[in-house]
Structure 1
């Protein structure tokens, strides 16, 4: 239980560092949190592939949303900002820990994704100056639908990319 609480608190601290700090030195705080997670809560051998896979998937999803005009950032780039990529890494650190309870049954993850996903984007957007050109309600509803599918997918990735126990 203390490990899950530490994981949740570290995630929240990292979330604020990314959202408020943007592409500044505050990213070192968030990166440090990922390192602390891998040193004291888990290990790179156990979660490295998961973290990298979630960052790749999240970057692809959010960059596609950016390209479709759902998000408007202050910078001009084809991909999402680095701080948002790091947020995906932080989210990956929670899947087998503080958010593991939402993995089964699948609808718990779907429900959490439908509610918490859009709320996180809304709060993060307000703090980081991200615009929703289609308006807040259509964007949040669309994000809720997307995250109701995406979060169970992330849990499936966490299961599939789990370290295999060797039979030595």
Structure 2
């Protein structure tokens, strides 16, 4: 239980550092949080693939939404800022831990995504000064619909990589 609480608190600390600090030295909190996660809560061997996959897929998804005009960062850009991409990396640290309860049944993950993500994006947009050009409610509805699909997919990644990791432990030869 202490590791689950630490996992949730580390995510929240990282979320605040990214959203408040933007692309500043506050982003140094992210590698520190990921390092604490990998040394105390989990390990690179167990979760490295998940961290990379979620970071890349999530950054691509948000960059796609940026190019569709869902987000406005106040300057022309085709990729999301590093602080927003970093949030995906931080989220990946929670999937097997403090958010594991949402994996089964699948609708828990969908419900969390549909409700939690719009709140997180709205709060982040308000703090970081990100515009929602389609309108607040329209943007949040779209984000909720997307995340109702995203969260079960993230749990699917996690399940696949956990199975691969467990298989590697079983086939590893003793030294």
TM range (shorter): over 0.9
Q: Is it true that 1:76 corresponds to 2:80 in the alignment?
A: no
Query: For each residue in 1:16-63, what CA deviation from the matched residue of structure 2 results, as whole angstroms up to 9, or x when unmatched?
Result: 000000000000012210111011111111111100000111011000
TM-score (norm 1): 0.97
Aligned to 2:58: 58
How big is the shift at 1:74? 2.9
Deviates more, 1:75-84 or 1:17-26: 75-84
- The equivalences for 1:19-168 within 5 A come to 19-162=19-162, 163=165, 164=167, 165-167=169-171, 168=173
* CA-CA distance at 1:75 after TM superposition: 3.8
Structure 1 unmatched runs, 5+: none
Question: How far apart are residue 78 of structure 1 and its match?
Answer: 1.4
Whichever structure has more helix as a proportion of its residues is: 2
Partners of 1:125 and 1:139 in 2: CA distance: 11
Deviation sequence 1:51-91 (CA, Å, 0-9, x none): 00001110110000000000011343211000011100000
- Shift in alpha-carbon separation, 1:40–1:75, aligned structure 2, 3 A: farther
Distance in 1 of aligned mates of 2:69 and 2:85: 18
Mapped partners of 2:103, 2:84: distance in 1: 23
4+ residue stretches of structure 1 with deviation over 2 A?
74-77, 164-168
CA RMSD of aligned residues (A): 0.9
Task: Check the 8 A contact 1:72/1:130 in 2, yes or no.
Answer: yes
Task: State the Cα distance separating 1:166 from its structure 2 match.
Answer: 2.4
How many correspondences in the alignment?
A: 168
Q: Is the 8 A contact 1:10 1:33 kept in 2?
A: yes
